[in-house]
Amino acid sequence: MLTGGPTGSELMNAGTPVVRRSPARPLLALCRNYPVSLLVLAPYGAFVLPIAVYYDNPQIGFILRLLGFALFATILVETVMLRRGSFAEFQRGLRAENSAYPKLFTIARIVAVVSMSADIAGAAAGRGTIVTQVYQVTTLSPVARYTALVAGWSVLAFALLAASYLGGQARLGRVLLWTSGLVLASLAQAFLTTISAYLVNCLSFVAAAGVLLGVLKVRHVAFVAVVLLLLWPALFAERNEIRQRHGIQVSQELTAGDRLRFDQQVTGAAQFDVPVDVGQPGVLGMLRYGLVPRVLDPERPQLSTGQRINETLGGSSTSVYTFLTLGTVYFLEGPLGVFLFYGAMAGLVALLLRSRRSPGPVRLCLLCIVVGGPLTWSSTYPDTVIGASQKVVAALPIFAALWLTRARPDPDRRTRTEAGLPVGSPH
């Protein structure tokens, strides 16, 4: 993980590198070297397994076996691809790479404004609402179609904001202020669409990527999680009320507490002979959904693997169901699929973090796309893999803007930044 050493603000104001010794240093080194393993383990250690123990779930062994498959793959790959060199050297290289883009914070704010505006406008126009998913509506208004082109920019905005902080171009307070705006936009999107997953996925992503990149501290994430758990019953009731106003049938038996039984979601896959074919897209279908914008392919059907899983389980087409990411991969691909999927994700993250030099803003954007998509613990596979491909396509204009505004190589500047010396004033 990219946490535990000198922060961006410390490096901005220091004349020499600052390396703090801490009793937690071994733990921080573990976080840095095994980021995907910890991203996989954290939600199960914090939520799924404690809930399973509290309710005395008889299939807790199944959860542990699945988690073992995934962790065996991630630990194996991350151990093979361990990075040599000290954390301080890596942090200085991170600052040097991201300080080479003088307009980085400006681009980050533009992307954030476009993202927030598009998410809210698109949801208001009917994009991604529960009504369009339930009734398979594919003919949407021009606003909904064109805002879909930048649907993944919130992830990119956060990545660029974090890169601005790591590169010494923005103070942490301003980065957190803009991040709060992204979260509030996802909250508005959740209420407009009556789909709480938008907010849950946004918060999960910001927490994971924020800790990974050193923007957030674990205790801050824990505090927010507790607050959300306390607010969840009210949010759940409001969501159901809005759905009923739109004519969507809501189960009166499912309570807010039942909705938090993540352990039951995972163990629901234990009763099936896997892998199960529910009609999920194959390789060509994934390429079609992932690489071709809907504005160029308006007639393709809505993609909802969760809906198809619910129908396979005997439910209706007006609801969705998943086994969380880990359980869904097992359900659709089997144990070998779990090993290969998480091994591939660990390898990809290791390449983005450790390949050659420290990552600049483009690689940080790609890293956040992976963390906010396939590695989100409560999302649906393979929809998130397709969504990651869509986000990469949507990010091409941003990558072009970064390339055009990158500063020309300056050996003296690079020497100063790698030494931890200030090269400019933060915004």
Close Cβ partners of 319 (under 8 Å, ≥ 6 residues apart): 307, 310
Query: For the chain, percent helix, then strand, then coil, each to nearest 5?
Result: 70, 0, 30
Q: What does the alpha-carbon distance between residue 241 and residue 249 come to, in Å, rounded to a whole number?
A: 10
And the tokens for 393? 């396509």
Tell me what pLDDT residue 387 has. Answer: 84
> Euclidean distance between the first and final Cα of the chain, in Å?
26
Q: CA dihedral in degrees (167, 2, 182, 123; nearest 10)?
A: 120
Q: What does the alpha-carbon distance between residue 215 and residue 371 come to, in Å, rounded to a whole number?
A: 15
The type of residue at 259 is: R
Q: Within a 13 Å sphere around the CA of 425, how many CA atoms are in the beta-carbon half?
A: 1
And the tokens for 73? 């793959």
Q: Mark out the alpha helices in 169-217 (DSSP H runs).
A: 172-193, 197-212
Q: CA dihedral in degrees (137, 142, 147, 149; nearest 10)?
A: 90
- Concatenating the DSSP letter of every residue in 341-391 gives HHHHHHHHHHHHHHSSSPP-HHHHHHHHHHHTTTT-TTS-TTHHHHHHHHH
Tell me what pLDDT residue 60 has. Answer: 93
The type of residue at 276 is: V
**pTM of full prediction above 0.85:** no
Give residue for tokens 């490096």: 11
Q: What does the alpha-carbon distance between residue 123 and residue 143 come to, in Å, rounded to a whole number?
A: 10
Q: What are the extents of the domains in the chain?
A: 8-418
Q: What does the alpha-carbon distance between residue 244 and residue 58 come to, in Å, rounded to a whole number?
A: 35
Tell me what pLDDT residue 18 has. Answer: 41
Q: What does the alpha-carbon distance between residue 49 and residue 226 come to, in Å, rounded to a whole number?
A: 17
Instruction: Quick: pLDDT tens for 262-315.
Output: 888 899 888 888 888 877 777 776 777 766 766 666 666 666 777 788 878 877
Q: What does the alpha-carbon distance between residue 167 and residue 100 come to, in Å, rounded to a whole number?
A: 8
Q: To which H or E segment does residue 10 belong?
A: helix 8-13
Residues 298, 292 contacting (CB under 8 angstroms): no
Peptide bond into 23 cis (omega under 30): no
Enumerate residue ranges in the chain where pLDDT < 50.
Answer: 1-24, 139, 424-427
Give residue for tokens 């904001």: 161
Tell me what pLDDT residue 107 has. Answer: 94
